[in-house]
Structure 1
Amino acid sequence: MISIIRKIIYGIIGILIIIGGVSIYAYSKQQSNFAKLKEVPPVTEDILEQIAEEEIEPEEFVEEEVPASSTNGIRERIKSALNSFLHQDIKIVGIGDSLTQGVGDEHNAGGYIGILDRTINAENQIATFENFGKRGNRTDQMLVRMEEEEEISESLKSADIILITIGANDIMKVARDNFVDLHYLQFARERVKYEERINTILTQMRELNNKAHIFLLGIYNPFAQYFPEIEELGTIVNDWNRTSNFTTSQYEDVTFIPMQDVFDQASDNLFADDHFHPNSLGYYHMAERVLEFLTNIEVEGGNDEEENGTTTGE
């Protein structure tokens, strides 16, 4: 009888040892997989909030630190457009989110707008720039600023070229609001509202200014290099970019500038330490892409309120 009990006990112990061994193996395998992403911060709600709100302390701008190859490439591209800009008072207005503001530029040099300014005006003062980028801005917030801030509306009235970056924070808001239970359809539904707001933005800009050439820069996928296995992120960004491209095509002298391939095809790191905004090199690549489009348009300088069919009132 005792021997039977002893066998039963030994059998139970053996089973526990096997279960324990399997558990240890599974745990070590899991830790091995996690170790592959040990340098990548997890996408948590705190990270999403940090991306939207955290202030990045910029370093002092030192032009010598900017890669010479990128600078020379941009200046070569602008030479073909100098004849269009020369002897004209061109006004370029940037408006939108943190990409227009230049967040992530470690030189605190104005992001891609600053690069355009320094490049176009490298030898002569050809164009004046005004920057109304604001970190965290979504399409609905940008509309409010256009309607309520007189400085912005007056600047848009007299602009010859308008550059817009907007939409990434609309996507991020969907992620933050539905973080616990996130589905592709939530992004699809919000994209419909995004399209409506982009239409409203362009319509209002045309009411303020019927001659400026408007450029809407596309959205890139900042998480692609860290989470390539999450295919939905790329699909969502592609969908929103197609919406932007289609919407701009419905307006005269409004152009969509794709940006996702600029980041997807880069061999160098183009992101700041927050893994979301471009670093200075990323902004240089953005500026190069924008210049490709700017050099293919004709600009009528000296745009004023009377020519645009707008008045400031008495």
Structure 2
Amino acid sequence: MRPVFYAILGIFAVSALLGWAHYESKERTIVAFGDSLTYGLGDKGDEGYVDKLESVLNQKYETGPIEIANYGIVGQETNGILNQLENPETREEASKADGMIVFIGTNDLINSNGGDLDNLQEAKIHEGKEDYRRNLTSILNTLREENHSAPIHLIGLYNPYPGSSEIERHIDQWNDLNKKLAAEYEGIEFIPLNGVFKNKSKEEYFSDSLHPNEKGYKLIAWRILNGSRLFRESL
């Protein structure tokens, strides 16, 4: 009787192990929404932080392949992401995602001031920030409606002109808005980015006045990975 019992037990053990292995090897998908910084403009390899983060995640976690779908568009503002989310295929992609990244706002800020950050106009920037708040709230609401459980990472803005204390002040204000919005939702994490390029050489880490180069995007990828509690818990 014992040999039969142990044989049956062995079958169950192998089945359980195979089932666990199958679960562990599940393919995971992350969707990333944003502008040229998510698209990867300035990286000669056209990878940006998205492909670098994908590569690091696949090296770090051995639970199955991780793919990041890049929805970044050069010049995009928050209203552009809202337009993307009107596409049923995009919404379906978000609904099935194991994680999401939203990195948006640089163009909202710059364009609220007329297309550059020279001669800052307080009233226009304030108006732009309110539009940004409304749009970003709609984005987060839509993503959470489509997907109730996937962690969402809201990436903060960085100051590409660290010599200007006035620009820094506005960046801080927009980041405070991001942080407060993220805190209103379950499973949405704010990851600050503004300190990443502090005391870093512009020539070494940027391809132009705004966009990082390969080394700069690598810093962003590592900052997202190291700053994300939700990534560590969900992958």
TM-score, scaled to structure 2: 0.81
Which residue of structure 2 aligns with residue 41 of structure 1?
none
Q: Deviations over 1:203-228 (max 9, x none)?
A: 0111111011000111111122xxx1
Q: Deviations over 1:29-51 (max 9, x none)?
A: xxxxxxxxxxxxxxxxxxxxxxx
Which residue of structure 1 aligns with residue 225 of structure 2?
291
Matched, 1:134 2:73: yes
Q: Distance in 2 between matches of 1:144 and 1:278?
A: 26
Which residue of structure 2 aligns with residue 117 of structure 1?
54
Q: Distance in 1 between matches of 2:225 and 2:54?
A: 11
Percent identity over the alignment? Answer: 31
Q: 1:145 aligns with which of 79, 84, 100?
A: 84
Q: Distance in 1 between matches of 2:116 and 2:28?
A: 44
Q: Deviations over 1:253-310 (max 9, x none)?
A: 00111001001243573211x211111111110011111134554227xxxxxxxxxx
Change in Cα spacing, 1:133 to 1:177, as seen in structure 2 (3 Å) is closer
Matched, 1:236 2:174: no
Change in Cα spacing, 1:181 to 1:130, as seen in structure 2 (3 Å) is closer
Q: Distance in 2 between matches of 1:270 and 1:164?
A: 22
Q: Is the 8 A contact 2:78 2:132 kept in 1?
A: yes
Which residue of structure 2 aligns with residue 275 of structure 1?
209
Matched, 1:262 2:196: yes
Q: Is the 8 A contact 1:184 1:232 kept in 2?
A: no
Q: Distance in 1 between matches of 2:83 and 2:129?
A: 19
**1:115 maps to amino acid:** K
Which residue of structure 1 aligns with residue 128 of structure 2?
190
Q: Residue 91 of structure 1: SS of its match in structure 2?
A: strand
Q: 2:95 aligns with which of 157, 161, 172?
A: 157
Give 5+ residue unaligned stretches, structure 2. 1-22
Kindly report the root-mean-square deviation, in angstroms, between the aligned alpha carbons of the 2 structures.
2.3
Q: Distance in 1 between matches of 2:56 and 2:120?
A: 43
Give the Å deviation of 1:101: 0.7
The 5 Å alignment of 1:294-309 reads 294=228, 296=230, 297-299=232-234
**2:161 maps to amino acid:** F
- Identify the range of structure 1 (184-193 vs 282-291) with the bigger mean alpha-carbon deviation: 184-193
Q: Distance in 2 between matches of 1:247 and 1:213?
A: 15
Q: Is the 8 A contact 1:86 1:126 kept in 2?
A: no
Give the Å deviation of 1:176: 2.0
Q: Residue 105 of structure 1: SS of its match in structure 2?
A: coil
Give 5+ residue unaligned stretches, structure 1. 1-84, 301-314
Q: Distance in 1 between matches of 2:216 and 2:78?
A: 23
The 5 Å alignment of 1:207-218 reads 207-218=145-156
Which residue of structure 2 aligns with residue 87 of structure 1?
25
Q: Distance in 2 between matches of 1:244 and 1:179?
A: 20
Which residue of structure 2 aligns with residue 174 of structure 1?
112
- Identify the range of structure 1 (162-171 vs 90-99) with the bigger mean alpha-carbon deviation: 90-99
Q: Distance in 2 between matches of 1:236 and 1:299?
A: 33
Q: Which consecutive segments of 4 or more residues in structure 1 shift more than 6 A?
A: 178-181
**1:236 maps to amino acid:** H
Q: Is the 8 A contact 2:157 2:171 kept in 1?
A: yes
Q: Distance in 1 between matches of 2:192 and 2:116?
A: 28
Which residue of structure 2 aligns with residue 61 of structure 1?
none
Q: 2:179 aligns with which of 238, 245, 259?
A: 245
Give the Å deviation of 1:154: 1.4
Change in Cα spacing, 1:178 to 1:277, as seen in structure 2 (3 Å) is closer
Q: Residue 261 of structure 1: SS of its match in structure 2?
A: coil
Q: Distance in 2 between matches of 1:288 and 1:100?
A: 14
Give the Å deviation of 1:157: 0.7
Change in Cα spacing, 1:182 to 1:290, as seen in structure 2 (3 Å) is closer
Q: Is the 8 A contact 2:110 2:116 kept in 1?
A: no
Give the Å deviation of 1:251: 0.3
Aligned residues: 209
TM-score, scaled to structure 1: 0.62
